Amino acid sequence: MAAVNAFNQALTRIGFNVDTTEAIIDQGFDTMDTLATVDEKDIDAMIKNVRDTRREQGDDAEGAVTFPFLAIKRLKAMRFWATEIVRTGRQLNAGLFHGAEITLAVNRYSTDAIRSEIEKDEDPDKPGELSDLTKWEVFWERWSTYASRLRGAAKCPMTYVFREKGVPDADDFIADYDSHDDYLVAVTVLGGAWYDLDNRRIYDEFKNLVLKGPGWTFIKAFDRFKDGRNAILTLKRQCEGTSAVQTRKASAYAKIASAKYSGQKRNFTFDQYVEVHQAAYNTLADLDEAVPETKKVTDFLAG
């Protein structure tokens, strides 16, 4: 009963009068937990059902049941808020949906609607196939960028599926993030219907890029259940393990040592020479290999 009363009060806070909140609850929308299980079309259908029923009742319809436009929008935003809380493993509490939280929820709901419309016809550039594991570094950057442009059932970038930390801790919920998307990537639960759908989808995306190359050997075991998370992280650890790191470091140093500039030429310009050095040092930095600035200057002049 307490959950019903709390939800009733939340409906009042978002702009529905007493008669309308009763009508909504009579339709089975009686708690925040229930609201989190329906989709937006269900809300539209519920409102239509109430209106149609009252129209049929005519003068016998009791109460002043109305559905103001902004109240409907806030109700949909509240559903959006509730489903996000469920997906991030937090406890639903209708009493928390008030004041600034309502405004924030409406803004995020509106932003998601705009994003969905913009991305509806978008086709993000896919990375090329991983034909050589020594090219993992570039492939991973492109893959991560591509996956971050995909949004699935969890309503956030699909990079959440293969984040390193499986279960977020308390600090993850209060950490500072550059964006709300970054927050969701860090704390969305790796379980539930949303994860099952996204995990299978990301597996299919990843499989298509490694199927014809040497990486397929390492992820083939996950094909039966389309386990995207474990497939991706397994190959990542294989390519970024201790031996792989040493190989990448050696390769970076070798590129620096072999880069030679003997004057401007059509097939190798000064800008390209600079780029070779910069790319190699970027790789070393990614691998936590500290290179003194004096050595960088010496190597650059030596070429």
In this prediction the pTM is 0.81
> For residue 105, what pLDDT is reported?
98
Q: Could you give the percent of the chain with pLDDT greater than 70? A: 93
109-132 average pLDDT score: 91
d(CA 291, CA 180): 35
C-alpha to C-alpha distance for 148 and 126, rounded to whole angstroms:
11
Query: In the block, which residue shows the tokens 């959440």?
Result: 160
- Average pLDDT for 53-59: 92
Q: What percentage of residues in the chain have a pLDDT greater than 90?
A: 70
Q: Which residues lie closer than 8 Å to 280 by C-beta, 6 or more apart?
A: 252, 253, 255, 256
Q: 26 and 46 in contact (C-beta within 8 Å)? A: no
Supply the pLDDT for residue 270. 77
Amino acid identity for residue 227 in this structure:
D
Under a CB-based contact definition with an 8 Å cutoff, are residues 3 and 31 in contact?
A: yes
pLDDT in tens, 219-231: 999 999 999 999 9
The predicted structure's pLDDT at residue 272: 77
Distance CA 250, CA 239 (A): 15
Residues 83, 37: Cα–Cα separation, whole Å: 8
- One-letter amino acid at 250 equals A
Position 246 scores a pLDDT of 65
Count of C-beta atoms within a 10 Å radius of residue 69: 8
Q: What angle do CA 105, 108, 111 make, to 5 degrees?
A: 150
Name, in order, each residue with C-beta under 8 angstroms of 27's C-beta and a sequence gap of 6 or more.
46, 49, 50
Can you give the pLDDT at residue 271? 76
Residue 303 clears pLDDT 70, i.e. is over it: no
pLDDT at 284: 73
pLDDT at 279: 76
> Can you say how many angstroms the Cα of residue 224 is from the centroid of all Cα atoms in its chain?
25
Is residue 91's pLDDT more than 90?
yes
Run of H or E including 301: helix 293-302
| Mean pLDDT taken over the chain | 91
Q: How far apart are CA 232 and CA 244, in angstroms?
A: 16
Q: What is the dihedral of CA 284, 288, 289, 291, to 10 degrees?
A: 90
- pLDDT of 197 > 80? The answer is yes
- Is the model's pLDDT at 243 over the cut of 60? no
- Indicate whether 265 pLDDT > 70: no
Encode pLDDT of 4-49 as tens digits: 999 999 999 999 999 999 999 999 999 999 999 999 999 999 999 9
**How much is the pLDDT for 300?**
72
